[in-house]
């Protein structure tokens, strides 16, 4: 299907929908009042806009079709979390009569109304893209999801056997009557509401039943080749159950069967003042997450109104919280199709992450890092040196102690394996495990137990303050000295994410910086006053203050007539103090370039206030995750990499770090890489004063520049990407 077909139904939009918020049209209108609510975008609406930019990727015909499907499904996953956390939080504020109005001045009720309007439009659009663009193109490539009305006789027989042998024994249909009230359904589980006629063996004739789909079964089943005419053919579990519903209710007539899915509040609420054992408290909360308050109902769009009204009443939801969809209600489960299909030509071409020359043939990583700092940019450069350093430390008899923070890593990761080996080898291993990493709590509980069993000292950080810093410290005896080596990163110690997320890693033996890392670990594991650090910035104590000071210094340079500039690459900016400081800098003449992947509450381009600020978002093959802060400082440039975004939670309520890059060679490299981001005209979206994001395109006569493709080519030697 060409991009010109079906224009009436699916439109390739060049900008995400505008946020319907007032803006200051003139400097006089704002009167330079930096508390003016019109200067701020609501954070949840901004997050929703990022999700829409992800959805837009599914329409980009320059991308391989299975990658377009991935983006469509990532949109589903993002929206699930958006409702589980963001929408659920707004509903809780209203329910508990504790409505919080931020700098944008928008009440939670109004935000929920705007979210509902935008989300309904975009979710409907998502299914249109799936049905009219993605599935037809997959079909042309020999990959099919075969619908019930398309099953051949052979396929019907095979599906019936599969249902009777694999599905039916695991299903528990629930008839609704006084002794079987409406069941408590698990968050995001696939269910069916069934209309029945007839009287059962016990004389019951309620007319309704619920059929929960077994969670242990795959949602996508591959049909064997001998019942198909070629290609890769799949059926959905929902189609199999739907086609055989009558077998679940023998002697009854089924008049309708409609799939639905309920999204619940999945945020964990733990009172830090009422927790004696954080691990035990979290285990209890993880169970309750599956049954939190209802926030959204997804239902098949052919479900009769009397049934949708019934479901809404059961869940305490309004019609505005129901989403009627033309397809499977659990789209995220289609990720299985990618793993079950052997079609590498329909995916991005593979690449091998590079190893820097200094590390390529190094047998002793300590010797290399002892001579110079090593900066890695993942995923273009391998995460293996970080893992190898830890493995080497575990085996090295000269290594006495290892200290590590873990936020997201996976219980069976190579990082945890190395820490276990080190502990078993008799090293002093201390690991600060953040149990409250959202949706990774269960994995972190498992890895904490595994480390404890190996003899490591496991600390759960500070109750009420998440430990989000990414730090590793190795202490090694070299002659008569105790020498320290450190790894600091902008991302997590997760080898899988290191292939999907862009992040920086610094390997260093700078003894001043390593001493600062040691002090931070001492603060986390022990007790005492804030320890003074010489180079490392750390939240919640010095990071925010220093960033504000650095912005103020650029403002002073501009006020004095000197050239002043700030470039920051971050995932989000929501902190009002930081935003006001950037507005002041802009008003003084500081040129500010912000590369913000997701939420941005700052409104750029407002005359007289933010006219010197540009905000762009990069959405591409890899999730942009690195945090980089650059200050021109009148020619004496300063670079910081950080684990923190410019959000209140990061700067005020988390343990975060910002670490300087002082090597001139590494500074030059960072500057060139930032310039590639700023020159991107292919995967870049620019935020407008009215809240719209407009996709950037090459100017007439200008070549296409895609930063991720350029970095792949420059660092990995990969040729031109399929994504122009």
3-state secondary structure of 94: helix
Binding residues: 78, 408, 438, 501, 597, 625
Find all residues with CB under 8 Å of 116, minimum gap 6, and list them. 320, 321
3-state secondary structure of 708: helix
Binding residues for ATP: 78, 501, 597, 625
**Which long-range contacts link 130-133 to residues 24+ away (Cβ below 8 Å)?**
130/72, 130/327, 130/331, 131/326, 131/327, 132/1, 132/6, 132/9, 132/10, 133/1, 133/6, 133/10, 133/58, 133/59, 133/68
Rounded (5°) CA angle 522-524-529: 70
Pull the structure tokens for residue 559. Answer: 């006020």
Residue where the block lists tokens 């377009």: 68
Please list the alpha-helical segments (H only) found in 526-643.
543-559, 576-588
In angstroms, how far apart are the furthest CA atoms of the chain? 89
Distance from C-alpha of 421 to C-alpha of 390, rounded to nearest angstrom: 10
Residue where the block lists tokens 């509903």: 91
User: Of the candidates 394, 395, 389, 384, which has an alpha carbon nearest to the alpha carbon of residue 366?
Assistant: 389
C-alpha dist (Å) from residue 193 to 303, 307, 310: 9, 8, 10
Contact status, residue 175 vs residue 206, Cβ threshold 8 Å? yes
Binding residues for Mg(2+): 408, 438
Q: Which helix (H) or strand (E) holds 263?
A: strand 253-264
Annotated active-site residue in 42, 468, 487, 494: 468
Sign of the CA dihedral with 172 first, then 175, 177, and 182 last: positive
Adjacent-strand bridge partners of 489: 505
494 is catalytic: no
Contact status, residue 363 vs residue 695, Cβ threshold 8 Å? no
Please list the alpha-helical segments (H only) found in 361-455.
365-371, 384-395, 414-424, 441-454
Please list the alpha-helical segments (H only) found in 568-706.
576-588, 648-652, 664-679
DSSP code of 426? T
Distance from C-alpha of 592 to C-alpha of 615, rounded to nearest angstrom: 9
- Enzyme catalytic residues: 468
């Amino acid at each position: 299907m060409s991009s010109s077909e079906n224009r009436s139904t699916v439109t390739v939009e060049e900008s995400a929908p505008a946020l319907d918020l007032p803006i200051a049209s003139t400097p006089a209108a704002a009167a330079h009042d930096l508390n003016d609510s019109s200067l701020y975008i609501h954070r949840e609406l901004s997050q929703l806009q990022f999700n829409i930019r992800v959805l837009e990727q599914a329409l980009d015909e320059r991308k391989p079709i299975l990658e377009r499907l991935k983006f469509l499904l990532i949109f589903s996953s993002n929206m699930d979390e958006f409702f589980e956390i963001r929408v659920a939080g707004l509903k809780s504020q209203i329910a508990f009569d504790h409505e919080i109005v931020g700098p944008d001045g928008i009440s939670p009720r109004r935000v929920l109304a705007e979210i509902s309007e935008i989300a309904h439009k975009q979710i409907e659009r998502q299914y249109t893209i799936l049905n009219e663009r993605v599935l037809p193109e997959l079909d042309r490539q020999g990959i099919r999801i075969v619908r019930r009305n398309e099953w051949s006789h052979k396929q019907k027989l095979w599906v019936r056997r599969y249902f009777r042998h694999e599905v039916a024994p695991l299903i528990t249909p629930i008839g609704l009557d006084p002794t079987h009230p409406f069941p408590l359904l698990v968050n995001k589980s696939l269910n069916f509401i069934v209309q029945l006629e007839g009287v059962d063996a016990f004389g019951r004739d309620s007319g309704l039943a619920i059929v929960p789909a077994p969670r242990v079964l795959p949602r996508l089943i591959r049909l064997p080749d001998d019942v198909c005419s070629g290609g890769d053919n799949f059926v959905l579990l929902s189609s199999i159950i739907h086609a055989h519903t009558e077998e679940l209710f023998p002697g009854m007539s089924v008049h309708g069967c409609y799939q639905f899915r309920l999204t619940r509040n999945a945020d964990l609420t733990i009172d830090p003042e009422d927790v004696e054992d954080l691990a035990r408290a979290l285990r209890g909360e993880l169970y309750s997450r599956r049954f939190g308050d209802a926030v959204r109902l997804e239902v098949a769009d052919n479900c009769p109104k009397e049934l949708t009204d019934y479901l809404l009443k059961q869940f305490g939801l309004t019609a505005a919280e129901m989403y009627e969809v033309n397809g499977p209600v659990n789209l995220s489960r289609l990720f299985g199709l990618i793993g079950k299909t052997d079609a590498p030509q329909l995916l991005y071409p593979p690449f091998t992450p590079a190893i820097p020359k200094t590390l390529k043939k190094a047998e002793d990583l300590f010797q290399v890092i002892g001579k110079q700092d090593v900066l890695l940019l993942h995923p273009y450069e391998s995460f293996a040196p970080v893992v190898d350093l830890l493995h080497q430390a575990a085996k090295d008899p000269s290594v006495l102690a290892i200290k590590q923070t873990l936020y997201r890593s996976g219980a069976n990761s190579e990082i945890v394996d190395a820490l276990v080996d080190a502990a078993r080898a008799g090293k002093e291993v201390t690991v600060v495990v953040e149990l409250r990493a959202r949706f990774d709590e269960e994995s972190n509980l498992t890895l904490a137990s595994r480390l404890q069993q190996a003899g490591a000292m496991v600390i759960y950080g500070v109750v009420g303050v998440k430990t989000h810093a990414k730090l590793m410290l190795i202490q090694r005896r070299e002659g008569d000295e105790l020498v320290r080596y450190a790894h600091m990163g902008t991302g997590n110690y997760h080898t899988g994410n290191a292939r999907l997320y862009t992040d920086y890693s610094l390997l260093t033996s700078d003894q001043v910086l390593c001493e600062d890392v040691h002090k931070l670990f001492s603060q986390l594991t022990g007790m005492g006053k804030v320890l003074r650090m010489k180079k490392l910035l750390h939240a919640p104590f010095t990071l925010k203050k220093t960033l504000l000071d650095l912005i103020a210094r650029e403002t002073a340079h501009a006020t004095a007539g000197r050239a002043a500039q700030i470039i920051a690459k971050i995932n989000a900016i929501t902190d009002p103090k930081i935003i006001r400081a950037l507005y002041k800098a802009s008003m003084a003449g500081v040129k500010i370039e912000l590369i913000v992947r997701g939420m941005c509450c700052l409104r750029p381009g407002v005359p007289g206030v933010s006219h010197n600020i540009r905000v762009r978002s990069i959405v591409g093959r890899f999730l942009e995750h690195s945090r980089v802060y650059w200050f021109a400082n009148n020619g004496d440039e300063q670079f910081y990499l950080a684990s923190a975004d410019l959000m209140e939670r990061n700067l005020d309520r988390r343990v975060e770090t910002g670490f300087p890059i002082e090597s001139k060679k590494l500074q030059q490299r960072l500057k060139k890489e930032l310039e590639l981001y700023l020159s991107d005209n292919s995967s870049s979206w620019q935020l407008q004063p009215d809240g719209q994001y407009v996709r950037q395109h090459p100017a007439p006569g200008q070549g296409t520049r895609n930063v991720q493709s350029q970095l792949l080519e420059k660092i990995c030697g990969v040729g031109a990407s399929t994504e122009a």
